[in-house]
Chain A
Amino acid sequence: MALLEEPIKKALELKNYVNGEWVKSASSQMISIVNPATQQTIARVPMSTEQEVDDAIAAAKEAFPDWRRTPPLARARHLLRLIDLLEENFEQLSRIQTMEHGKTIDESRGETRRGIEMVETAAGIPSLMMGYNLEDIASGIDEYVVYQPLGVFCHIAPFNFPFMVPLWFSPFALATGNTFVVKPSPRDPISQFKLAELMDEAGIPPGVYNVINGGNEVSQRLLEHPDIKGVTFVGSTPVGRDVIYRKCGETGKRVIAQCGAKNFMVVMPDCDLQKTIAALMTSFFGNTGQRCLSGANLLIVGKDDAFCKKFLDAFVNAAANIKIGYGLDDSVQMGPMQSPDGVTRALGYIEKGIKEGAELLLDGRKPRIIGGCPAECFVGPTVFAGVKPEMTICREEIFGPVASVLRARDLDEAIAICNGSAFGNGDAIFTSSGKSAREFQYRVESGNVGINIGITAPMAFFPFGGMKDSFFGVLHGQGRDAVRFFTESKVVIQRWF
């Protein structure tokens, strides 16, 4: 198939978007954004200064009083205009994600679609944000609750879904009347740059939505700034738990910290083999394994060795035949990893798996890449069998296309193994038995549960779950949880003399 046209023709110089203006950073520190498939530089992004972060927060704070007084329906209209613009730019946005991140074009289009769905859901804010009331709580006295915005919120974004993840939060923050500062991942900030252009075109008032580029220093400043009311974060557990959650506790900020994972895909002997394999390919190797809902551990249930062998053969065979290359070739099924760091990390875990005695059934260390792409960022699908729950490759998040295969005698043991994990993000079961499915969803300690679904990603109108070391906070992102997170409930009790 043909290579789709690249939307970025020459390296972009990214700016910050503050108070409705494009502002060139005063920082001399710039990072090059490299297309992981071609190794070409496609942008340069500044590491903004502390003063620039303060300026963005000040702009957001100043914009807040007017924005919160804007009627919810009028705020929703801004989002409706944004939706039109996102649809018009759908393909360009998707191709940018492939260029900056490496994912396939199907995956990028899927990410764009999900991002738009967040805006669509948030646009229903007049209904979502309604309070409730009760007459005569005592004779002649009425009581009601209203939900009010709090002020400036921020988002510290991950690299794995550069377009969609910030949209898990920002549309809900804006719709509820808050103002927002986004810090995109410095690895792939281009689609956020493009999104800010569309926010601007949609007529979002100056200061309501701001983008500040940078690294850890920018995150630190956002975390400690007294005018930030709440922080949303998606990233690793050590950062989410030990930095974001802790700091927000110290400074009294609200927090949603969606963190790491090590998801189990439990396969029962009565599963539909063909459909399960397709679902598992997406789960383990989609987005090159770089997502918190990726399958990581494949847990085959039952004592039937013949079934186990048949299933494993089919799984390895399908994984071995995955076409790897540049995601803008629409026949490619798996792209590169986003950075050489990710490759180093994945290769390190493969070495560890071998050292700890797991059996390497499929070795992705020297993958066959189609289209003549440089090999720097590529790791092929890798499958280990004979993995034990105590092994490092079963316990720790690899964030790459590496599958660890375990066995369990029965469903009870399978659930016990799942629940032994420190994480609780997205476990799934594949079965044709309602009883097994019900038992699994009831007992498994996981915030998002799949039944014959390999990627347990909740839709925009449901909360994005997460338990144990996968989530820190109380309310989750998306849906009604997000509306509650971005608002304070105020109770009014009234009596008229």
Chain B
Amino acid sequence: MALNTAAAAISFARKLEEDAARFYEAVAEKYNSEEATYLTFAKENQKHIAQVERTYYGVISDALEGCFSFAMDTEEYAFSSELADRTEYALALETAIDIESKTARFYTQAARQSKALMADVPRVFDLTAKKHNKRIERLEELRPT
């Protein structure tokens, strides 16, 4: 689905973070290892939503290019956050890396497109992208050797 407006970009960011949070809560419950890490991730996802929304609502102005700052497609960042009963831990880890990669890519692209048009919003997108990229490093470390 095409994503052109700031309102839609913010809604989509919320969806990505909420889906990821639900996934990490399920992973923490299902597998014993690294439970604390995944629960922290889930909590951070909620924090990301708050930070992104607070920034957007704080700077949105009728003079900004809110309706014309984005030309994205949600399909490019869609991920599956389902955790089937028999999913092995290694597969769950792969899914987590996929979630983080796509979410980071979304924020990076959204930041690039809205730079200089949406005041502080691109900056919070960039910061959030960095946090998701950091998670990928952490998840790579958790891969079974």
B-contacting residues of A (Cβ < 8 Å)? 1-2, 90, 104-107, 109-111, 113-114, 161, 164, 275, 278-279, 281-282, 286-287, 291, 293, 318, 323, 330-334, 453-457
Contact = CB atoms under 8 A, between A and B. Distances in A.
Contacts of B7: 104-106, 109, 330
A56 to B, nearest CB: 29
Interface string B53-82: 000011111111111110000000000000
A113 B57 CA distance: 8
* Secondary structure call for the B interface: loop
12 contacts: A106-B7, A106-B60, A110-B60, A110-B62, A113-B57, A113-B58, A113-B60, A282-B66, A286-B62, A291-B62, A331-B1, A455-B63
B65 A282 contact: yes
A110 B5 CA distance: 13
Contact of B63 (A110, A278, A334): A110
Contact of A457 (B11, B62, B65): B62
A332 B62 contact: no
Given A104-B7, A331-B8, A457-B61, A110 B66 contact: yes
Contacts of B8: 1, 330-331
B5 A279 contact: no
Interface residues of B, number: 24
B6 interface: yes
Given A90-B57, A109-B57, A281-B68, A453 B5 contact: no
Interface of B: 1-8, 11, 57-69, 116-117
Contacts of A293: 63
B68 A113 contact: no
A96 to B, nearest CB: 15
A287 B62 contact: yes
A107 B63 CA distance: 8
A271 B63 CA distance: 19
B66 A1 contact: no
A334 B4 CA distance: 11
A278 B68 contact: yes
Given A107-B67, A331-B5, 11 more contacts: A104-B5, A104-B7, A113-B59, A279-B65, A279-B117, A282-B64, A330-B8, A332-B5, A333-B68, A456-B63, A457-B61
Given A104-B7, A105-B7, A275-B117, A333 B61 contact: no
A89 to B, nearest CB: 13
Q: Max chain A CB contacts within 10 Å: which of B3, B5, B59, B116?
A: B5
B9 to A, nearest CB: 9
Contacts of B116: 275
B109 to A, nearest CB: 14
Most chain B beta-carbon neighbours within 10 Å: one of A105, A106, A286, A457: A106
Contacts of A334: 67
List of 9 A-B pairs having minimum Cβ-Cβ separation, nearest first: A106-B66, A110-B62, A330-B7, A455-B63, A281-B68, A333-B67, A457-B63, A282-B65, A110-B61
A278 B61 contact: no
A107 B65 CA distance: 9
A453 B62 CA distance: 12
A107 B1 CA distance: 21
Contact of A333 (B4, B58, B59, B117): B4
Contacts of B68: 278, 281-282, 286, 318, 333
Contacts of A454: 65
B73 to A, nearest CB: 12
B65 A278 contact: yes
B5 A278 contact: no
A107 B67 CA distance: 8
A111 B66 CA distance: 12
A90 B57 CA distance: 9
B145 to A, nearest CB: 43
Contact of A114 (B11, B57, B61, B66): B61
B60 A282 contact: no
A109 B11 CA distance: 14
A266 B67 CA distance: 22
Contacts of B64: 110, 282
A104 B67 contact: yes
Contacts of A332: 5, 67
A278 B63 CA distance: 12
Given A107-B66, A110-B63, A278-B117, A330 B57 contact: no
Nearest to B56: A109
Nearest to A281: B68
Nearest to A90: B57
A398 to B, nearest CB: 19
A169 B5 CA distance: 30
B67 A106 contact: yes
B63 A453 contact: yes
A451 B116 CA distance: 13
A456 B63 CA distance: 7
B138 to A, nearest CB: 32
For A114, A161, A282, A334, the residue with the greatest tally of chain B CB atoms inside 10 Å of its CB is: A282
Nearest to B2: A331
Contacts of B65: 278-279, 281-282, 454
A164 B61 CA distance: 11
A337 B116 CA distance: 28
B66 to A, nearest CB: 4
A106 B6 contact: yes
B39 to A, nearest CB: 29
